[in-house]
Amino acid sequence: MSGTVGDFVWKRLGEWGVRRVFGYPGDGINGLLGGLQRAGDRFEFVQVRHEEMAAFVAGAHAKFTGEVGVCLATSGPGAIHLLNGLYDARLDHQPVLALVGQQARAALGGHYQQEVDLHNLFKDVAGAFVQTAMAPAQVRHLIDRAMRIAIAERKIACIIFPNDLQELDAAEVPPRKHGTVHSGVGYSAPKLAPKEADLRRAADVLNAGQKIAMLVGAGALHATDEVIAVAQKLGAGVAKALLGKAAVPDDLPYVTGSIGLLGTKPSWDMMNGCDTLLMVGSGFPYSEFLPKEGQARGVQIDIEPGMLSLRYPMEVPLLGDSAETLKALLPLLRQKDGSWRGEIEGWAADGWKTLEGRAMQSADPLNPQRVFWELSPRLPEGCILTADSGSGTNWYARDLKGRRGMMGSLSGGLATMGAGMSYAIAANFAHPQRPVIACVGDGAMQMNGMNALITVTKYWQQWANPQFICLVLNNRDLNQVTWEQRAMAGDPKFEASQEVPDVSYSSYAELLGLKGIFVDSPERVGSAWDEALAADRPVVIEAYTDPNVPPLPPHITLEQAKALASSMFGGEPELGRVVRGTVSDMLGGMLPHRS
Ligand SMILES: Cc1ncc(C[n+]2csc(CCOP(=O)(O)OP(=O)(O)O)c2C)c(N)n1
Ligand SMILES: [Mg+2]
């Protein structure tokens, strides 16, 4: 007796190496849950608070392990809840398998309870593979194809299981007859590198350049040694897209840090001053932060053809794995010894001083940059950092000096609020020995984070290392957007849409049996981090920060400066000293730039 379809699904997924599934129950998947229960300790079911979080955790699991993340949701509402998390994974090119329930086959088309056209609903996000299982003999190849496409194409796959089908006897091997499919398990990524002639063309461009800027992204996370070796040979500086923060450590003198709206001035200066751009594994979207068209010659390495020569017209777009391609390129490159490297190191060192100066400015009551600045030297070895979407993403990107061996991630392409805590939970399940630190805004905490903290409460005692810290920036504001309204539109803060209730996140942590630390003075920030890092359980650090510290881009356009000035001096006279200080600091250095 081979069991039910519900048993067979897990048997087959187990053969694919799946060990953990994130989900939430419902009668649309009871047959699958029964199978999962019978599979015993071969699988771990992680129960989250909301299906969106199941999908966030699955996507983050993929980011932190390289494996396919698997999430499970019931028919109708459960399936619908998955969507935002699946889009997060999709936009960041992560492999995720969504298993969702559906009403019984005989009821479909009957405007039945919880009947939603799931195939259509998932067709966009899981366009690479979405199928409804209609017969037991179909299940084997649906799983095999879904897993292989997800992992090989780094995409979302979705299998829809009508609930009655889950209870039928499995057909482990389909009959040998016309109209059946006979599939197998397994995938191993090929060694993907460009042809010799293309590598030579790329090397010619790079050897001819005098001022080389590298931009690395998530596709370079596994290529740290290769990026460093190539940067050394080319005398290049290295800027990092947000998802590539951990690709090279921030403590190398020629690393200019983040780029873009959340970026640093050294990255901005390097991109504007370079004559050659080498982009590795990045889909960083904002071309205005790259060299002007025609200013630089371009070489790009990416594993997806659709991402090549997309943000800057590249002279040599190379399709390949970043580590393999850089390794193959290295012997073709000549050692450079111009003055460009020195210039970059000067910019980078000045950039850190500027950030320190900004972090040390007083604010009312606490400058959020100070909170990140103090964390930086205290980051424990091998820690995993996550961030939510908000003003804190700026400080995560710019102020945290990541070292070798650390990891970090967030919702990059979708930039959705509410993912930061789920990412941290995924990090802990994936790497239970490593300390995890999530940086979350109060809006995001209220959206999903407070509920995700209940999941932490449920599981933390199983974790080998209880070092799990959630930093909440309590600024009573949806601050990132408040500043966007000011700087882009010139509108004063719209209190009705922007203010969020002042909630005591530290008391809430205590209520859940975790540790809560409240900090509202700059002198106490360092000791708050020390206390949190030494705690014997997960901690919420609630930093009561000033919403009037502007998370502005590294350069500011004349239009933005005017817009900001009109909201600052016209509509919102209460904006304090910090704003004026920061804005005039930026204007002084950057006004010559116009968009
Ligand atoms: C799901 C979702 N809704 C809305 C937004 C738009 N948005 C981006 S950042 C932000 C403000 C976040 O506020 P908070 O979490 O308090 O962080 P803060 O910026 O105040 O530090 C908003 C509303 C978004 N990115 N995602
Ligand atoms: Mg906020």
pTM of the model: 0.96
SS (H, E, C) 355-386: HHHHHHCCCCCCCHHHHHHHHHHHCCCCCEEE
Lowest-pLDDT choice from 77-91, 247-261, 377-391, 540-554: 540-554
Distance CA 472, CA 504 (A): 10
Do residues 497 and 563 both lie within one domain?
yes
With a pLDDT cut of 90, the percent of the chain lying above it is 90
Q: Is the pLDDT of residue 100 over 70?
A: yes
Q: What is the pLDDT of residue 487?
A: 83
Residue where the block lists tokens 């390949």: 320
Please compute the mean of the pLDDT values over residues 225-243 and round it to a whole number.
Answer: 98
Task: Give the distance (Å) from ligand 2 centre to CA of residue 476.
Answer: 5
Buried b or exposed e, range 162-189, using 16+ CB within 10 angstroms:
bbebbbbebbeebeeeeeeeeeeeeeee
The CATH number that applies at residue 150 is: 3.40.50.970
Do residues 235 and 153 both lie within one domain?
no
Please compute the mean of the pLDDT values over residues 387-396 and round it to a whole number.
Answer: 98
Task: Give the distance (Å) from ligand 1 centre to CA of residue 501.
Answer: 14
The CATH number that applies at residue 214 is: 3.40.50.1220
pLDDT band at 519 (very low <50, low <70, confident <90, very high): very high
Q: Is residue 586 in some structural domain?
A: yes
Cβ atoms within 10 Å, residue 574: 9
With a pLDDT cut of 70, the percent of the chain lying above it is 94
Q: Is residue 353 in some structural domain?
A: no
Task: Give the distance (Å) from ligand 1 centre to CA of residue 481.
Answer: 7
Cis preceding-peptide flag for 365 (omega within 30 of 0): yes
Q: Which ligand is nearest to the CA of 444?
A: 1
Quick: pLDDT tens for 295-304. Answer: 999 999 999 9
Q: Which atom of ligand 1 is nearest to the CA of 473?
A: 21
Cβ atoms within 10 Å, residue 191: 8
Please compute the mean of the pLDDT values over residues 337-343 and round it to a whole number.
Answer: 95
Do residues 80 and 208 both lie within one domain?
no
Q: Is residue 452 in some structural domain?
A: yes
**Taking ligand 2, which is a single-atom ion, which protein residues have CB atoms under 5 Å away?**
441-443, 475, 477, 479
The residue whose CB lies within 8 Å of the most ligand 1 atoms, and thus the one to mutate among 262, 394, 398, 417, is 417
- Smallest CA separation from ligand 1 atom 5, residue: 417
Please compute the mean of the pLDDT values over residues 437-444 and round it to a whole number.
Answer: 98
Do residues 313 and 438 both lie within one domain?
no
Q: Which atom of ligand 1 is nearest to the CA of 445?
A: 15
Q: Is the pLDDT of residue 233 over 50?
A: yes
Distance CA 145, CA 490 (A): 51
Q: Is the pLDDT of residue 240 over 50?
A: yes
Q: Which residues contact 196 (CB under 8 A, 6 or more apart)?
A: none
Please compute the mean of the pLDDT values over residues 477-492 and round it to a whole number.
Answer: 90
Q: What is the pLDDT of residue 569?
A: 63
Please compute the mean of the pLDDT values over residues 567-572 and round it to a whole number.
Answer: 67
Closest CA to 383 of 369, 411, 404, 361: 404
Q: Is the pLDDT of residue 594 over 50?
A: no
Do residues 142 and 223 both lie within one domain?
no
Domain that holds residue 257: 196-347
69, 19 in Cβ contact below 8 A?
Answer: no
Please compute the mean of the pLDDT values over residues 159-187 and round it to a whole number.
Answer: 97
Q: What is the pLDDT of residue 593?
A: 37
Q: What is the pLDDT of residue 171?
A: 97
Q: Is residue 171 in some structural domain?
A: no
Q: Is residue 261 in some structural domain?
A: yes
Count structural domains, the chain: 3
Instruction: Tell me what the pLDDT averaged over the chain comes to.
Output: 95
DSSP state letters, 411-448: --SS--TT-HHHHHHHHHHH-TTS-EEEEEEHHHIIII
State which of 347, 371, 399 marks the end of a domain.
347
Do residues 26 and 49 both lie within one domain?
yes
Please compute the mean of the pLDDT values over residues 210-228 and round it to a whole number.
Answer: 98
Q: Is residue 253 in some structural domain?
A: yes
44, 20 in Cβ contact below 8 A?
Answer: yes
The residue whose CB lies within 8 Å of the most ligand 1 atoms, and thus the one to mutate among 480, 482, 485, 495, is 480
Task: Give the distance (Å) from ligand 1 centre to CA of residue 585.
Answer: 26
Do residues 122 and 246 both lie within one domain?
no
Distance CA 382, CA 122 (A): 37
Phi and psi based region of residue 157 (left: phi greater than 0; alpha: psi -120 to 50; beta: remaining): beta
Do residues 340 and 369 both lie within one domain?
no
State which of 313, 347, 381 marks the end of a domain.
347
Do residues 439 and 564 both lie within one domain?
yes
Q: What is the pLDDT of residue 552?
A: 74
C-alpha 527 chain-centroid distance: 29
Q: In the numeric block, which tokens belong to residue 384?
A: 């995993």
Task: Give the distance (Å) from ligand 1 centre to CA of residue 418.
Answer: 8
Task: Give the distance (Å) from ligand 2 centre to CA of residue 540.
Answer: 15
Do residues 151 and 10 both lie within one domain?
yes
Q: Is residue 139 in some structural domain?
A: yes
- Smallest CA separation from ligand 1 atom 13, residue: 478
Q: Is residue 126 in some structural domain?
A: yes
State which of 146, 166, 186 marks the end of a domain.
166
Task: Give the distance (Å) from ligand 1 centre to CA of residue 526.
Answer: 26
Do residues 338 and 376 both lie within one domain?
no
Residues with CB under 6 A from ligand 1: 388-392, 415-418, 441-444, 473, 475, 477-481
pLDDT band at 480 (very low <50, low <70, confident <90, very high): very high
Do residues 128 and 274 both lie within one domain?
no
Distance CA 257, CA 251 (A): 10
Q: Is the pLDDT of residue 590 over 60?
A: no
Helix (H, G, I), strand (E, B) or coil at 227: helix
Please compute the mean of the pLDDT values over residues 517-526 and round it to a whole number.
Answer: 98
Please compute the mean of the pLDDT values over residues 364-380 and round it to a whole number.
Answer: 98
Q: What is the pLDDT of residue 589?
A: 44
Q: Is the pLDDT of residue 376 over 90?
A: yes
Q: What is the pLDDT of residue 585?
A: 55
Quick: pLDDT tens for 241-297. Answer: 999 999 999 999 999 999 999 999 999 999 999 999 999 999 999 999 999 999 999
Q: Which residues contact 117 (CB under 8 A, 6 or more apart)?
A: none
